[in-house]
């Protein structure tokens, strides 16, 4: 029988759901804002794509920062620090006078983003006992909802204005006291969370090679996902869509991810994780091929969200079934995803700067095909 929910747990639940919806909206804003940023700061596609690199690297630092502090720090203090960084970053994004300052602001905001992601996930898993996994899934679903709402709000505004970061700063200010009020008695998660997977036999005779392959797989798949989310608006504008229509396609992409996760939850337990990952990447590649070769490119781009949806979480399950699970392994794999999110959208931006927006689908298709090759290799190396 599940224990009653405490007042501290209710506070953490409210804080987590609101925060993750907020984080999802923030991440989804950059893509629709790219056209306006290019005009405001006079930068080309390759330079404006560096905003994704700044965000990805800041989030990567934020993910590892709490674990790098030796003194025990309660979660509420880290959440307060994270919300402060979100507030400072959003304010700087609103008033940044030059492009380097804009990148520094995005990096600062993303540090708070990364700290929130790792600390709230830890709080939900460790602080809710048997409900931990369900609550963790709930806050990540809230992230998807925020990713849909961000572009929709911009579409309603009718133009890509960075004035939206004023609203982000106000929301971060409102979030700060909630973060500071979260229960200070919950300590940092243990260095190793036992879920039984560490006792499983290794499924591969080459565990180190398989681990490297999983890191590469997450890097490529996350890079493709963030490239699509970041450049859908730009591609749609190049194909003749109005700005509200283009921003709505970005919202459709994130809506597809949300819908895909709901659909995957219904059958994921019946199918091997490796089969789901290989199948999802194949479907994503097919949609990117349509985007690269037909006039329906922006729509196919947006629908790719449904195919992408199960890849991240199912790959983590696949890692647990393939290798002894530890915090080190999980950090490496998730770090690979964040690295891909930092590098590849900017690289796609360079391709767009050289060959135009229509080159985005072929460039991302190349990432999808590479990730498919890696996924198939892992599947074969594990013997299934």
Tens of pLDDT, residue by residue over 292-324, are 888 777 788 778 888 998 888 788 778 877 877
302, 250 contact by CB (below 8 A): yes
Q: Please report which confidence band the pLDDT of residue 104 belongs to, taking 50, 70 and 90 as the band edges.
A: very high
Q: Is the pLDDT of residue 192 over 70?
A: no
Q: Is the pLDDT of residue 200 over 50?
A: no
Q: What integer pLDDT is reported at residue 182 of this predicted model? A: 67
Give the span between the Cα atoms of 196 and 192, in whole angstroms.
Answer: 11
Q: What integer pLDDT is reported at residue 160 of this predicted model? A: 66
Q: What integer pLDDT is reported at residue 195 of this predicted model? A: 42
DSSP string, 151-185: HHHHHHHSS--TTHHHHHHHHHHHHHHHHHHS-TT
Q: What integer pLDDT is reported at residue 58 of this predicted model? A: 93
Q: Is the pLDDT of residue 193 over 80?
A: no
The better pLDDT of the pair 118, 2 is held by 118
pTM value > 0.75: no
Segment 280-293, tens digit of pLDDT: 999 999 998 988 88
The better pLDDT of the pair 24, 12 is held by 24
Q: Is the pLDDT of residue 354 over 50?
A: yes
Q: What integer pLDDT is reported at residue 269 of this predicted model? A: 66
Q: What integer pLDDT is reported at residue 189 of this predicted model? A: 44
Segment 29-85, tens digit of pLDDT: 888 888 889 889 999 887 888 998 899 899 888 887 776 665 555 445 788 899 999
Between the two ends of the chain, the Cα-to-Cα distance in Å is 37
Average pLDDT over residues 141-168: 81
Please check whether the domain covering 1-189 is classified as CATH 1.20.1250.20: yes
Q: Which residues contact 249 (CB under 8 A, 6 or more apart)?
A: 232, 233, 236, 241, 298, 299, 301, 302
Q: What integer pLDDT is reported at residue 198 of this predicted model? A: 40
DSSP string, 182-232: S-TT--PPPS----SGGGSPPS-S-HHHHHHHHHHHHHHHHHHHHHHHHHH
Q: What integer pLDDT is reported at residue 187 of this predicted model? A: 45
The percent of residues above 90 in pLDDT, for the chain, comes to 24
Give the span between the Cα atoms of 183 and 72, in whole angstroms.
Answer: 15
DSSP conformational letter for 310: T
Looking at the chain, which residues constitute the CATH 1.20.1250.20 domain(s)?
Answer: 1-189, 195-384
Please check whether the domain covering 195-384 is classified as CATH 3.30.540.10: no
Burial 21-60 (b: 16+ CB within 10 A, else e): bbbbbbbbbbbbbbbbbbebbebebbbbbbbbbbbbbbbb
Average pLDDT over residues 13-27: 87
Q: What integer pLDDT is reported at residue 70 of this predicted model? A: 53
235 vs 13, 75, 197, CA distance in Å? 38, 41, 43
The better pLDDT of the pair 139, 5 is held by 139
Segment 317-353, tens digit of pLDDT: 788 778 775 556 766 787 888 889 888 988 998 898 8
H helices present in 42-97, as ranges:
45-48, 50-64, 75-95
Q: Is the pLDDT of residue 216 over 80?
A: yes
């Amino acid at each position: 029988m599940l224990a009653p929910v405490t007042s501290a747990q209710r506070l953490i639940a409210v804080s987590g759901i609101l925060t993750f919806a907020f984080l999802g909206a923030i991440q989804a804003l950059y893509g629709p804002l790219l056209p306006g940023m290019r005009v405001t700061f006079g930068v080309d596609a390759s330079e404006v794509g560096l905003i994704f690199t700044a965000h990805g690297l800041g989030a990567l630092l934020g993910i590892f920062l709490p674990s790098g502090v030796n003194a025990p720090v309660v979660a509420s203090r880290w959440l307060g620090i994270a919300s402060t960084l979100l507030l400072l970053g959003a304010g700087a994004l609103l008033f940044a006078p030059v492009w380097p300052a804009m990148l520094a602001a995005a990096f600062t905001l993303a540090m708070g983003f990364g700290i929130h992601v790792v600390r709230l996930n830890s709080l939900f898993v460790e602080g809710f006992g048997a409900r931990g996994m369900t609550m963790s899934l709930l806050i990540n679903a809230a992230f998807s909802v925020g990713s849909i709402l961000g572009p929709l709000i911009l579409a309603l505004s009718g133009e890509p204005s960075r004035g939206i970061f004023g609203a982000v700063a106000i929301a971060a200010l409102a979030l700060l006291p909630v973060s500071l009020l979260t229960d200070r008695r919950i300590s940092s998660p243990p260095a190793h969370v036992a879920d039984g997977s560490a006792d499983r036999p290794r499924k591969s005779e080459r565990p180190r090679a398989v681990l490297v392959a999983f890191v590469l797989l997450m890097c490529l798949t996350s890079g493709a996902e963030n490239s699509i989310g970041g450049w859908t608006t730009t591609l749609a504008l190049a194909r003749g869509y109005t700005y509200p229509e283009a921003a709505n396609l970005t919202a459709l992409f994130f809506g597809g991810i949300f819908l895909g996760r709901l659909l995957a939850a219904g059958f994921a337990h019946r199918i091997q994780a490796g089969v789901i990952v290989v199948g999802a990447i194949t479907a994503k590649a097919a949609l990117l091929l349509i985007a690269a070769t037909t006039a329906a490119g922006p729509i196919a781009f947006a629908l790719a969200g449904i195919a992408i949806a199960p890849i991240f979480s199912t790959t983590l399950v696949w890692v647990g079934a393939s290798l002894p699970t530890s915090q080190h392994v999980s950090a490496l794999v998730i770090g690979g995803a964040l690295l891909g999110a930092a590098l590849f959208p900017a690289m796609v931006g360079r391709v767009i700067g050289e060959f135009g927006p229509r080159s985005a689908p072929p460039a991302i298709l190349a990432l999808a095909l590479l990730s498919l090759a890696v996924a198939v290799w892992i599947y074969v190396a594990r013997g299934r």
